[in-house]
């Protein structure tokens, strides 16, 4: 699997967190058009599977079932596509499991728009009501209060990346501009743009994109060839999906932890 010899990560860091510049306008307007500052090469001589995991949204039982089914090894790379928080019942359990997963494999967590809003609210960059309006109340309820959110959880979210690139695939939470290099993509596209607005053309790199964010309420993976969306609406009664991007193998678990497994048809 030579295309994983170099895993490139795009990240934006402003005081350790992807910050909003000011609190104005709509939620989307608050977070748009912040440029990417770094491209960091990460090399591995030996790698195993490359697996992407869709939007978890507080569904810790589903995540636990997927981890057990995948049984990751230290050589495996797991890219989680963001939106770990809100909506589901157990954001604390999700983040605890992801932090523990780092001890079993190469975990590359990406930032989702819900994660970004949570951080911005916690650190006083937006009014907490904006977070509550995006189902942040479920997260606060799970912790007990905002003050009870442990620093290791905010540290985990603050260290999440915006985009991952291999020789054959690109990964981001939401979408991309097909005519811009990855280092020139906007936060609005990477974290907020919905595939319901439009499915973009293939990226200029020619690489297949793996995204979440646009929930597939029928519980099925959206596969348009050059882009595949694996947010299959676990928090709303669908499935949490993990996909081996090379073999096409799928693992799916519902919010109660019930599991199914298959190969994606291409």
Residues contacting residue 115 through CB under 8 Å, at least 6 positions apart: 82, 83, 84, 85, 157, 160
Q: Is the pTM of this model over 0.85?
A: yes
For residue 203, pLDDT beyond 80 = yes
Query: In which band, very low, low, confident or very high, does the pLDDT at 243 lie, cut at 50, 70 and 90?
Result: very high
Tell me: the pLDDT tens digits for 31-80? 433 333 344 444 444 568 999 999 999 999 999 999 999 999 999 999 99
Q: How far apart are CA 198 and CA 205, in angstroms?
A: 19
Torsions phi, psi for 190 (to 5 deg)? -65, -35
User: Looking at per-residue confidence, does 30 or 11 come out higher?
Assistant: 11
Query: In which band, very low, low, confident or very high, does the pLDDT at 26 lie, cut at 50, 70 and 90?
Result: very low
Structural domains in the chain, CATH included, are 2-263 (3.60.21.10)
Lowest mean pLDDT among 7-21, 91-105, 166-180, 250-264: 7-21
């Amino acid at each position: 699997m030579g295309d994983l010899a170099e895993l490139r990560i795009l990240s934006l860091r402003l005081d350790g967190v992807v910050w909003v510049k000011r609190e104005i306008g709509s939620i989307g307007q608050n977070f748009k058009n912040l440029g990417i500052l770094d491209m960091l090469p990460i090399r591995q001589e030996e790698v195993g599977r490359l697996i992407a995991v869709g939007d978890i949204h507080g569904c810790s039982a589903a995540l636990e079932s997927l981890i057990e089914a995948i049984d990751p090894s230290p050589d495996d790379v797991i890219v989680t596509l963001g939106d770990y928080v809100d909506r589901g019942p157990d954001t604390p359990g999700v983040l605890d499991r992801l932090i523990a997963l780092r001890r079993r494999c190469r975990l590359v967590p990406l930032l989702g728009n819900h994660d970004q809003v949570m951080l911005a609210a916690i650190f006083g960059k937006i009014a907490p009501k904006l977070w509550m309006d995006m189902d942040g109340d479920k997260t606060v309820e799970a912790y007990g209060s905002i003050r009870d959110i442990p620093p290791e959880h905010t540290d985990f979210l603050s260290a999440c990346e915006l985009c991952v690139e291999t020789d054959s695939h690109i990964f981001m939470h939401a979408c991309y501009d097909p005519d811009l290099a990855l280092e020139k993509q906007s936060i609005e596209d990477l974290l907020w743009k919905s595939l319901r607005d439009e499915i973009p053309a293939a990226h200029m790199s020619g690489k297949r994109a793996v995204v979440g964010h646009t929930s597939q309420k029928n519980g099925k993976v959206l596969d348009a060839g050059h882009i595949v969306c694996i947010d299959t609406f676990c928090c709303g009664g669908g499935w949490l999906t993990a996909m081996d991007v090379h073999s096409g193998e799928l693992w799916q678990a519902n919010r109660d932890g019930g599991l199914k497994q298959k190969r994606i048809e291409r």
